[in-house]
Amino acid sequence: MELDTARDFLANVVKEFPFPENEYEAGYLRKHMQRYRDSCDLIAANCPSEGRLLSIGCEPGHIEILLKEFFGFRQITGLSYRASEEFKLRMTRFDIPMLECHVENAPIPNEDGSFHSIVFLEVLEHMFTGVPHALSEMHRVLRPGGTMVLSTPNLAQFRNRIKLLKGGSINWPLDGAKDFFGKPVHLRHNREYTNKEICFLLHGAGFEIDKVRFGEYSPERPRLMRIFNSLYPTFNSNIFVVARRM
């Protein structure tokens, strides 16, 4: 997938199908295209394009639309706890049906083993205490042998280690533009995880870990960061995990 082509395509989607609560969307799109491409490549390499795929917490739908338009996935279903009519209209345009479910405390409205693949991208960090329940539900609706692809920010990333060395906090800010208590759940991080913690949670839900990868997507990457990240991949900003239901 060529980045500029994909970026222009999504920019047109955002323009044609806006939804009011996502005023940050255009900037988010510019910032995260490299991660989008890496996520799509990982999904395409591990999930069957002809199978049924469930995307948990899929708003704003960028990666799901890319998978349909550039990677040949045809049976994608999205799940969100708060899908607006405007967002549903966007997803309908690309033939992506939407489920509404608060997956932290409610069952996913599908039968056992309904999906060949699940993607769970940049959602875990927004969740509260219902993570074990959510992962258990994902395990239930995934077919035996099916694949989950997960991504989330890395709590142990280089930038966080430097913040701690300087006596700063690595938690979401309590004031300023990112005011933790003033942000809705989808615009703040409630808890980030290390790769070992993620593997612990997945094992607890019945998944087997296939592979763990790391990627660096910080907008600024000073030389010291690049050196440490090359020597210690666990210092990178984001974690990718491929897991399977056995």
User: Could you report the per-residue pLDDT of 130-151, keeping only the tens digit for each?
Assistant: 999 999 999 999 999 999 999 9
| 10 pLDDT tier (thresholds 50, 70, 90) | very high
* pLDDT reported for residue 64: 98
* pLDDT reported for residue 219: 87
* pLDDT reported for residue 72: 97
| 30 pLDDT tier (thresholds 50, 70, 90) | confident
What average pLDDT is seen over the chain? 94
| 123 pLDDT tier (thresholds 50, 70, 90) | very high
Length of the chain, please? 246
202-213 burial code (b ≥16 CB/10 A, e <16):
beebebeeeebe
Q: Where are the alpha helices (DSSP H) in the chain?
A: 3-16, 25-46, 62-70, 85-93, 131-141, 158-165, 195-204, 223-231
